[in-house]
Every structure is written in C-alpha cells, then in structure tokens.
Amino acid sequence: MSDRTPLMAGNWKMNLNHLEAIAHTQKLAFALADKDYAAVEVAVLPPFTDLRSVQTLVDGDKLKIKYGAQDISAHDSGAYTGEISGPMLAKLKCTYVAIGHSERRQYHGENEEIVNAKVKAAYRNGILPILCIGEPLEIRKAGTHVEYTLAQLDGALDGVPASDAEQIVVAYEPVWAIGTGEVATPEDAQEVCAAIRVRLAELYSAELAEKVRVLYGGSVKAASAAGLMAKPDVDGALIGGAALDADEFVKIVRYRDQAVG
C-alpha cells in the first residue's frame, strides 16, 4: 500500500454552463461526506466560465472539493486573444490545471513544446499540473505505447526541477479509451502507469517517483473503478463522461464500496 492519497478528478470538458455547474457542485457537496474526503481527494475541472461560480460555492460553504481548469496559457499576460493565464487561475484559487489533454493535442495542435511551456506556466503560478499523456490506437496496435507515452512525459518535464515535478499529477489516458466506452483493462493501465513511475525515478529519484500520483483516464465508470484502483501504480482517475453524472461520480469516489470488476 502506498502513502499516496487517491485523486478522483472530474473533467467536465465543454459541458455545463455556470448555472448547471452550481447545481452539479451542490449535488456533489450534498452527497459527499467527510469520510469520502478522508479517503480520496476529489476535484472537478469545469470550463473556464464556471470557475468563479465553483470557487464561490467552495469558498462560501468551505467545501472540501478541489477544483481547477482544463487548460492554461503558456503566457502570463499580454496580447493573446482568447487565452486564460496562470495568474487569472491562481486568483480564482485553482488547485489544478489539466495540461496536454489529447483533445488539446488533437484539435488545438498542442505539441510537446507547448505542453512543456504550459507545465512551467502552471508551476510559475502555484497551480499543480495534471499532465495528460497517452497513445492513440495505431500506436497501441503497433505495440509501442509505453515508449510513446514516456516520450510525452520526457517532453513535458524538460527543464522542470524536482521541487516542482514532485507535485505533478500524471494522467495516463490512452486516446482509444477516451469517450469510447472502451476502458483499458486494469493490467493495461498498470503496465503504463508503472512505466511512468519508473521513468520519473530515472528522471528524478525513486523517492520522488513514489510520491507522484499517476491516474488512469478513459471511459472510467463506477463498474470499472475498483478494478483499476486495485493496481499498485494506479492512484486515481481522470473522469470525463461519468463525471457529468453526480451519482456515478460519487460512486467512483466510493470505489472501495464497489466490487472489483
């Protein structure tokens, strides 16, 4: 058993307007009890337009739900139309920011250089990156998924000192599992999550690698969560579709109550 506190993070993607975000967060807050937060760290990653509403609820009611953004600009201010900066997210007291999600890489042309710059922007502003890495289907079929994913990790952490890297969260998200209903097997998830930890030890130290939480993401549901979490190097999940259903998300947070499927 590791000392790592599991993290269950709901990535809402481009869903829920700010009114829906309030209702959804209230539902989560109502359902989750102190014992849940004692066992698992719970976070939500709403769209930018919802962050102020979520912050107001969390601050006002002293909720234990953490929150963060789905992206961050590599720049801290200036003429970057449409971008949201680290200082803006820090002002909203975001704990986390997802960086390098495959949807950003695929639809917004984010390459390793951009991902690396965003990781540094997050640290510069006191926000913890949830770094998303993982292979597309053709790479999985070719059997080079571990090398591919580790190369993404290397690129994202280039020039990041150990004092920052020890606080990163890495989310292994195979692209073929995202939004497809085709969850990776616990063994598939463990293979890559373990390889990520070994690479962190090579890049930094074994001690650092033992501290870092490595999540799995891709079609996680309550029925699959316990099986994934039973693996020693899977420290939580980054949850998309199922995070939009408050009851399902709460069941994932309470994965220990589910059968290992």
Ligand X SMILES: O=C[C@H](O)COP(=O)(O)O
Residues with a known catalytic role: 101, 173
- d(C-alpha 171, C-alpha 131), whole Å: 6
Where would I find the beta strands (DSSP E) of 70-125? 96-99
Residues 6+ apart with CB under 8 A from 163: none
Cα angle 83-86-90, degrees, rounded to a multiple of 5: 130
219 forms part of the interface with ligand X (CB under 6 A): yes
The answer to the question of whether 219 is labelled as a binding residue is yes
Pick the closest to residue 73 from 105, 46, 106, 99 (CA basis).
Answer: 99
Nearer to ligand X, 173 or 235 (CB): 173
The residue within the footprint of ligand X, chosen from 238, 246, 250, 252 (CB under 6 A), is 238
Nearer to ligand X, 70 or 190 (CB): 70
- Draw the binding track, 27-66, toward ligand X (x: CB under 6 A; -: no contact): ----------------------------------------
- Draw the binding track, 1-20, toward ligand X (x: CB under 6 A; -: no contact): ----------x---------
The answer to the question of whether 179 is labelled as a binding residue is yes
- d(C-alpha 228, C-alpha 216), whole Å: 8
The values of phi and psi at residue 123, to 5°, are -60, -40
Nearer to ligand X, 117 or 215 (CB): 215
The residue within the footprint of ligand X, chosen from 114, 127, 139, 220 (CB under 6 A), is 220
Q: To 10 degrees, the CA torsion angle through 99, 103, 106, 108?
A: -70
Token duo for residue 233? 């190097």
Residues 6+ apart with CB under 8 A from 56: none
Interface of this chain with ligand X, residues 71 to 110, rule: CB under 6 A? 101
The answer to the question of whether 13 is labelled as a binding residue is yes
241 forms part of the interface with ligand X (CB under 6 A): yes
The answer to the question of whether 241 is labelled as a binding residue is yes
For strands 236-239 and 213-217, give the pairing: parallel
- Using the contact rule CB under 6 A, the part of the chain among 16-24, 136-144, 187-195, 237-245 near ligand X is 237-245
Nearer to ligand X, 68 or 218 (CB): 218
Nearer to ligand X, 218 or 227 (CB): 218
The answer to the question of whether 10 is labelled as a binding residue is no
Residues 6+ apart with CB under 8 A from 53: 18, 19, 21, 22, 25
Which residue ranges make up the annotated binding site for substrate? 11-13, 179, 219, 240-241
The site for ligand X (CB under 6 A) is made up of 11, 101, 173, 178-179, 217-220, 238-242
